[in-house]
Amino acid sequence: MVDTLGVAVVGFGWMGRVHTQAYARVTHHYPRLPLRPELVTVAEEVPGRAEEAAARFGFATTTRDWREVAADPRVRVVSITTPNFLHREIGVAMAEAGKHIWIEKPVGLTAGDARAVADAVAEAGVQGAVGFNYRNAPAVEAARDLIAAGEIGTVTHVRIRLFSDYAAHPESALTWRYERERGGSGVLGDLASHGADLARFLLGDIASLTADTAVFLPKRARPAGATAGHGRATGGEPGPVENEDYVSCLLRFASGARGVLEACRVSVGEQNNYGFEVHGTTGAVFWDFRRMNELAVSRGTTYQDQPVSTVYVGPGHGEFAAFQPGAANAMGYDDLKVIEAYRFLRSVAEGAPYGATLPDAVHSAAVLEAMARSADSGAWVAVDADV
């Protein structure tokens, strides 16, 4: 018996569309899922955008006020894909209204915001999923299993990179992403939050760190109207960029391993250059998001001149079998969000968490706040995961 599950999406920019498409596809890939999502309503304050989403994807109703979603008895689960400054208010309200939530990272502007949403979810007894999509890649899960099994020995050090050019153009519009009040941190919340989650997912808790940040494009043009994604604003009135373009960070893990995390949103010549390199006492494992379905692995006992081989993930790795029948058939970014949707809906169906949850968002936010404190002081700082 398959029950329908009323779904709402709050905020319909690019990520709202990605969530909607994931709901539409999830039962194609997971036909045994006992809950079938039904698109009930979409909330978006930009005039006309919700109506366009309804016409394109089949939402039954639209609204410009997310509070109507919280009060709607038809809605049981809510995707929150709004700008960061709205995450806390909407996330807490939806949980208190008894809605299960799938919320995008970084979950608010601060670790306190992430903790408030996590607490609201726990107190309401609902499920909460967070959009740390890169951990869902079958190759990343395979790397984690390989590391945990000791196949590269004891981990000694890791390097995690997240380089992109999405904000590199000097005419990029001065949207909410570049404002402290609405965006919070810059590349910390946008990209380094993924890096912090990957670091913990692969290697466990980060104990302390030291970081440096920089703003390389200090002014941008204000847009004339509503924006989506990373548009330009040629000729607009210039305004200040209030948060960082770049971060570099040295990490000390609770295990004793060391690490480097580096992220930049203005890296000319880099398009989604995300990945990691994990080294151990007997081997190493490498992953590049642009070759998402591959791992480079070195393992053995030769130590010097040890070869590196390419492993193509297949049906035995993570959720790969739900998408492709054999190794080296490619998966893509949107597939990772389908996996997120599946794990979120499975959590709702079974009453137990699967995938990235609000406590994971709190841990990531604690790392980001430690980075910010270190960048201000120039010192090593401890990561307080109980913030």
Q: Give the DSSP per-residue string, 274-287.
A: EEEEEEESSEEEEE
Backbone angles phi, psi at 63, to 5 degrees: -155, 155
pLDDT of the residue at 227? 56
Select from 299, 273, 300, 301 the least CA-distant residue to 287: 273
Q: Which fold has domain 134-329+356-381?
A: Dihydrodipicolinate Reductase; domain 2 (3.30.360)
Give dist(CA 234, CA 253) in Å, integer.
44
**Over its length of 387 residues, how does the chain's per-residue pLDDT go in tens digits?**
568 999 999 999 999 999 999 999 999 999 999 999 999 999 999 999 999 999 999 999 999 999 999 999 999 999 999 999 999 999 999 999 999 999 999 999 999 999 999 999 999 999 999 999 999 999 999 999 999 999 999 999 999 999 999 999 988 888 888 999 898 899 999 999 999 999 999 999 999 999 999 999 999 988 765 555 566 666 678 899 999 999 999 999 999 999 999 999 999 999 999 999 999 999 999 999 999 999 999 999 999 999 999 999 999 999 999 999 999 999 999 999 999 999 999 999 999 999 999 999 999 999 999 999 999 999 999 998 665
377 Cβ neighbours under 8 A, 6+ residues apart: none
pLDDT of the residue at 205? 97
Q: Where are the alpha helices (DSSP H) in 62-110?
A: 66-70, 87-96
Q: Which two tokens stand for residue 226?
A: 């509503």
Give dist(CA 30, CA 339) in Å, integer.
9
Q: Is it true that 3-132 and 134-329+356-381 share their CATH fold?
A: no
Domain spans of the chain, in order of start: 3-132, 134-329+356-381
pLDDT of the residue at 126? 98
Write the single-letter amino acid at 123. Answer: E
Q: Where are the alpha helices (DSSP H) in the chain?
A: 14-29, 49-57, 66-70, 87-96, 111-124, 138-148, 180-183, 187, 193-203, 333-350, 358-377
Instruction: Give pTM, 2 decimals.
Output: 0.94
> What CATH class is the domain 3-132?
alpha beta
pLDDT of the residue at 247? 98
pLDDT of the residue at 226? 58
